[in-house]
Every structure is written in structure tokens, then in C-alpha cells.
Homo-oligomer: A and B are copies of this chain.
């Protein structure tokens, strides 16, 4: 049953580049035009990028105010003319990179068509998207669980596929944030062995309960490439999901001959020093990556559904507590995703 449509809606806007700048305003509810669907948003989740956009000038020249957050889940309550892809009542997830349907995105899509900056984000009670720019949410997931998928899950999925992970491969996952934990879950699904890095022994315990084969505390082991080599009889890791960015050099030391670094984040800094010979000698590859295409999203969702995988959600905040949610992200204490409920 489609939810009834009101004429005014609440929207979260950032009026300055700071957590304090967040506030709730009222806007008119839009109408679905040709090819569009109107969503009643149910849930959202935070990514580290959201914090960087809000507080680190990550997206230069972004005009204020803007609507934050990339990841959301909504229910279709109105379909525009010509829409065959969805029906009212469907639960859908807008693509983070609007228009990226298969293969690679265009530079224009990558720069100008991402939700939560520069396009308005998902923290709107109602949200319009082209029907072609959303996918169906896996049925067995809660709204918040489904809202974890567009950025965090799809990024981990894409890295593992681009690196052609196969059973028996050894994967190193940095941290225990959203991308990292999906990395653990998907890599196990693919038959790989997974080593997780964290600064918290407690989190390492929890990630093992999730299926990780081993954990390394990178505070106790800043030279974590050594335990990685030990655990792999000297081979090193076949693939590393690099969320830290600045630790590329250590990652190269931990990498197997012909290994793959999927570079997705910059949590530890925007710059890395790279020893040339550690790339050339072992014929290693560093690949800049982001989420994935609609086709990739749909394939991932088939995997999630057939395995009845559940994303790891830490705390769930009410939309009115959005600032607390950002503070929690900033604290780095979370394990997995931070959810927002509308």
C-alpha cells in the first residue's frame, strides 16, 4: 500500500561545513515526472565520505546549504509516466553514482552525479530519482540494513571482483568500518581467507565472530606486513582493501607477488609514499576504485539474497539525532555501519 503523499516534507540541510551546521528545514514534496520515481525515505546510513564532505572540505566549492548522505532506502510511492522498472510499494535503493549503469562511470558522472554532494543527498523525507537510477532492495533486509548497500557494500564487492578474488586467496581488510566488514563478509562468501587490521583488540574479536580468519592490531604491529607474511608462509596477501590510503607503502610490503591493492579510502591521510621497486619488482597493481555500476549492484544483491547475508549495523539514530550520528562516526568507535531511521 503506497504511503499517502503530503505536500510538505522535512529535509536535513547543512548550512555550514560542520556538524553544528546541520539542521532540519521544510520543503515542498516534489512530483514524479516522466521516468522518475518518488520515494518515501525509510532509512539512511553514514559513510566516512559524508563526514569528510561535512567537515574536511572534501568536496571543494560545494554550495551551501546542501543535503547530506549518499546511502538510503526508500519506498516507491509514485511512479512517473513511462516507468516500468518499479511499482508503488517497491523498496528501492538509489544509485550513489546516478547514471552509472554498467562498465565504468563517465568522468562527468563521477564528478557531478553522486548523491550527498554535489547532488542532494538522501536525508529527505521524500526523494525523486530516475527509475533507471535505483535498484530493488533485497527482501530479507531491514530498511537500515538495505541502506548500507549503495556505497559501502558495493565498494567492497567491486574491489574483490576487480581483483578477481578466488577461493584460497588471502585478503587483508583495513579497519572495521562499513567497507571493511562487507569486505570480510564477501571475501568469505568467495572462499577467501581474510585478515583484518584494527587498532582495537575488541573489534578484532568481533570481526572474527563475523568470519574473519585472523586479526592484527596495527597499533601493536605498525609493521603489520610481518604478521601477514608469517600467516601466509611468506607469500603475502593477494589483495588488500586499502581504506587508509596513507599506508600504501606498508600495504605494498604485505602484498603477494602480482598482488592487487584496491584503493578506496583516505582515512589515514591524503598522501602516500610509494617505493617504486616494491611495485615494479613483484609486478603489483594499485587500482583506484569507487562503488560500482547498477549491473554490479544487482549482481551483488543476488549474492546477498541467495546467501541471506545481513550487513553489520552498529547504532541506529533517529533522523533528528543526525548530529550525534556524525559525532559517533567521528569518534571512530563504530563497528560496521551507522544507521539513520526516518
Chain A interface (Cβ < 8 Å from any Cβ of B): 33-34, 99-107, 110-111, 132, 161, 164, 166-169, 186, 189-191, 193, 245-246, 248, 257-258, 263-266, 269-277, 279-290, 293, 295, 299-307
Contact = CB atoms under 8 A, between A and B. Distances in A.
A270 B266 contact: no
A102 B132 CA distance: 14
7 contacts: A99-B132, A106-B257, A190-B191, A191-B191, A269-B276, A280-B290, A283-B289
A270 B277 contact: yes
A273 B273 contact: yes
A107 B233 CA distance: 14
Contact of A189 (B191, B263, B302): B191
A47 to B, nearest CB: 13
A190 B167 contact: yes
A132 B98 CA distance: 13
Nearest to A294: B106
A296 to B, nearest CB: 9
> Could you say how many copies of this chain the assembly holds?
4
Given A284-B288, A288-B285, A295 B104 contact: yes
B281 A277 contact: no
Contacts of A164: 161, 164
The residue in A275, A286, A293, A301 that gathers the most chain B C-beta atoms within 10 A of its C-beta is A286
A302 B287 CA distance: 25
Leading 6 A-B pairs by shortest Cβ distance: A103-B103, A168-B303, A102-B103, A168-B302, A279-B288, A167-B303
B193 A306 contact: yes
Given A257-B110, A269-B276, A270-B275, A168 B281 contact: no
Contacts of A264: 280
A269 B258 CA distance: 22
Contacts of A273: 271-274
A228 B245 CA distance: 27
Nearest to A248: B274
